[in-house]
Structure 1
Amino acid sequence: MNAANRASPLDLLRLHVLVVILSLIAEWIGIIKIPLGVGTLLLLPLFYAFLLAIALNPHLSRRVHPLVPPRLSTAASPIILIAIMPFIARFGSTIGPSIDQIISAGPALILQELGNLGTMLIALPFAVLVLKMGRESIGATYSIAREPNIAIISDRYGLKGPEGIGVMGVYVVGTMFGTLWFALMAGFLGSAGWFDPRALAMACGVGSGSMVAACSGALAEAVPAMREELLAFAGASNLLTYATGLYVSLFIALPVAEWLYKRLSVRKGAGAGVDVEAPDTASVADTAAEPRPEQQLGHTAAMLAAVCAVGWITNVVSSGTLWGALPGMIILYVMSLIGLVITRIVPFYLPAIAWISLVSILMTLPFFPGSAWLVEQLSQVNFLAIVTPVLAYAGFALSQQEFSMFRRTGWKLVLVSLLVFTGTYLGSAVVAQLLL
Structure 2
Amino acid sequence: MSEPSNAKIGTVTAIGVTVLCVLVTAGTEYAGALELRIGTFALVLLPLFFAFVITVAVNLSLSWRRPDVAPLVWSTAGKLLQLLTVVFVVRAGVVLGTSLPTIIEAGPAILVQSLGKTGTVLLAFPAALLLGFGRASIGATFSIGREPSIALVTERYGISGPEGSGVLATYISGTLFGSLFFSALAGVGSAIPLFGSTALAMACGVGSGGMTISCAGSLAHGSQDLPQDEILALATASDVLTYVTTVLLGTFVVLPVLERLYRAPAAARNRLESGDTAEAGPTVVPSSLVAGLAVTVLLLVTQGWRAAPGVLVLLVLAIGARLLGHRTGRFVPTVLWAALVGAVLTVPGLPWSPVMLRILSAVDLLTLATAVLACVGLSVTTRQLKILRTLSWRAVVVTLLVFAGSFFTSALLAQGALSLVGAAG
Question: TM-score if structure 1 supplies the norm length?
Answer: 0.69
Aligned partners of 1:339, 1:398: CA distance in 2, in Å?
Answer: 25
The residue aligned with 1:15 is 17
Contact 2:113/2:413 (CA < 8 Å) preserved in 1?
Answer: yes
Contact 1:108/1:431 (CA < 8 Å) preserved in 2?
Answer: no
User: Which letter maps to 1:174?
Assistant: V
CA deviations on 1:292-337 (whole Å, 9 max, x unpaired) are xxxx9xx546534532432332233xxxxxx332222222223223
1:333 equivalent in alignment to 2:315: yes
The residue aligned with 2:379 is 397
Q: Per the alignment, do residues 332 and 134 of structure 1 end up closer, same or farther by CA in structure 2, a change over 3 Å counting?
A: closer
Superposition pairs of residues 296-315 of structure 1, within 5 angstroms? 300=288, 303-315=291-303
Superposition pairs of residues 247-396 of structure 1, within 5 angstroms? 247-249=252-254, 276-279=272-275, 281-283=277-279, 300=288, 303-316=291-304, 323-346=305-328, 349-396=331-378
Q: Per the alignment, do residues 307 and 237 of structure 1 end up closer, same or farther by CA in structure 2, a change over 3 Å counting?
A: same
Contact 2:129/2:137 (CA < 8 Å) preserved in 1?
Answer: no
Task: Return the offset for 1:64.
Answer: 5.9
Of the three residues 47, 50, 55, the one matched with 1:48 is 50
Aligned partners of 1:428, 1:59: CA distance in 2, in Å?
Answer: 42
Of the three residues 245, 248, 257, the one matched with 1:243 is 248
Percentage of matched positions with identical amino acids: 20
Aligned partners of 2:212, 2:140: CA distance in 1, in Å?
Answer: 25
Q: Per the alignment, do residues 281 and 352 of structure 1 end up closer, same or farther by CA in structure 2, a change over 3 Å counting?
A: same
Aligned partners of 1:114, 1:414: CA distance in 2, in Å?
Answer: 22
Please list every run of 5 or more consecutive structure 2 residues that lacks an aligned counterpart in the other structure: 188-196, 218-228, 419-425
The residue aligned with 1:101 is 102
| Counterpart secondary structure, 2:350 | coil
Contact 1:119/1:424 (CA < 8 Å) preserved in 2?
Answer: yes
| Counterpart secondary structure, 1:366 | coil
The residue aligned with 1:91 is 92
Q: Per the alignment, do residues 247 and 83 of structure 1 end up closer, same or farther by CA in structure 2, a change over 3 Å counting?
A: closer
Contact 1:142/1:257 (CA < 8 Å) preserved in 2?
Answer: no
Aligned partners of 1:141, 1:348: CA distance in 2, in Å?
Answer: 20
| Counterpart secondary structure, 1:283 | coil
Task: Return the offset for 1:410.
Answer: 4.0
The residue aligned with 1:178 is 170
Number of paired residues? Answer: 380
Contact 1:119/1:419 (CA < 8 Å) preserved in 2?
Answer: no
Contact 1:221/1:227 (CA < 8 Å) preserved in 2?
Answer: no
User: Which letter maps to 2:53?
Assistant: L
Q: Per the alignment, do residues 281 and 122 of structure 1 end up closer, same or farther by CA in structure 2, a change over 3 Å counting?
A: closer
Contact 2:142/2:255 (CA < 8 Å) preserved in 1?
Answer: no
| Counterpart secondary structure, 1:42 | strand
Aligned partners of 1:347, 1:61: CA distance in 2, in Å?
Answer: 34
More off after superposition, 380-389 vs 416-425: 416-425
Contact 2:124/2:141 (CA < 8 Å) preserved in 1?
Answer: no
Task: Return the offset for 1:118.
Answer: 4.6
Instruction: State the superposition RMSD in angstroms.
Output: 4.6
The residue aligned with 1:39 is 41
CA deviations on 1:171-214 (whole Å, 9 max, x unpaired) are 41432x4333334555446777757665333x22xxxxxxxxxx
Aligned partners of 2:314, 2:136: CA distance in 1, in Å?
Answer: 40
Q: Per the alignment, do residues 94 and 151 of structure 1 end up closer, same or farther by CA in structure 2, a change over 3 Å counting?
A: closer
Superposition pairs of residues 73-84 of structure 1, within 5 angstroms? 73-84=74-85
Aligned partners of 2:257, 2:70: CA distance in 1, in Å?
Answer: 44
Contact 2:96/2:240 (CA < 8 Å) preserved in 1?
Answer: yes
User: Which letter maps to 2:358?
Assistant: E
Aligned partners of 1:341, 1:42: CA distance in 2, in Å?
Answer: 37
Aligned partners of 2:89, 2:183: CA distance in 1, in Å?
Answer: 25
CA deviations on 1:73-97 (whole Å, 9 max, x unpaired) are 2211232231122221111112222
The residue aligned with 1:199 is 203
The residue aligned with 2:221 is none
Task: Return the offset for 1:115.
Answer: 4.4
Aligned partners of 1:149, 1:11: CA distance in 2, in Å?
Answer: 24
User: Which letter maps to 2:346?
Assistant: T
Task: Return the offset for 1:415.
Answer: 3.9
Q: Per the alignment, do residues 418 and 60 of structure 1 end up closer, same or farther by CA in structure 2, a change over 3 Å counting?
A: farther
The residue aligned with 2:392 is 411
User: Which letter maps to 2:249?
Assistant: T
User: Which letter maps to 2:299?
Assistant: G
| Counterpart secondary structure, 1:385 | helix
Contact 2:85/2:372 (CA < 8 Å) preserved in 1?
Answer: yes
Aligned partners of 1:108, 1:353: CA distance in 2, in Å?
Answer: 22
Task: Return the offset for 1:150.
Answer: 12
Contact 1:7/1:72 (CA < 8 Å) preserved in 2?
Answer: no
Contact 1:56/1:64 (CA < 8 Å) preserved in 2?
Answer: no
Contact 2:97/2:344 (CA < 8 Å) preserved in 1?
Answer: yes
